[in-house]
Amino acid sequence: MAIQRWCENIDSYAILAVANIATAAAIPFGSYAGGILHIVSGAGVTLSFYGAVKEGGTRVQIYDSSNNAVARTVATGRAYAIPDECFGFEQIFIVADATLVANINLKS
């Protein structure tokens, strides 16, 4: 038996993560309920997450409740949930310490 779940909307974006927050692409996130990041290439790359509370707003690094910067070290071919700490931001930005290509799927 296959279980299927009705999904209103899933949007996909291809991203190339860069090392500079000033040139990182904005990912619209405010209206989404969750998402995954699928790593196409970039094994051993550490990703740092930034956010802006409004479109075009100031980009700030996102921290968890223990005051640690939200970051993930990723591997090619794996999928990772968008960190919970990103919720509440209208836009998120992903900064990498090396070249990374990924697809991001966001569910509303």
Asked, for residue 89, whether it belongs to a domain, the answer is yes
Q: How confident is the model at residue 2 (pLDDT cuts 50, 70, 90)?
A: low
Q: Are 17 and 96 in contact (CB under 8 A)?
A: yes
Task: Give tens-digit pLDDT for 3-57.
Answer: 555 555 677 888 887 889 999 999 999 988 889 999 998 888 999 999 999 999 9
Domain assignment present for residue 61? The answer is yes
Domain contains 3: no
Residue 76 counted as domain residue = yes
> Exposed (0-12), middle (13-18) or buried (19+): which is 42, by Cβ within 10 Å?
buried
In-domain check, residue 33: yes
- How many folded domains does the chain comprise? 1
CATH code where residue 24 lies: 2.60.120
Give the pLDDT of residue 6.
Answer: 52
CA distance 84 to 35: 10
Would residue 2 count as lying in a domain? no
Question: What is the residue range of 44's domain?
Answer: 10-107
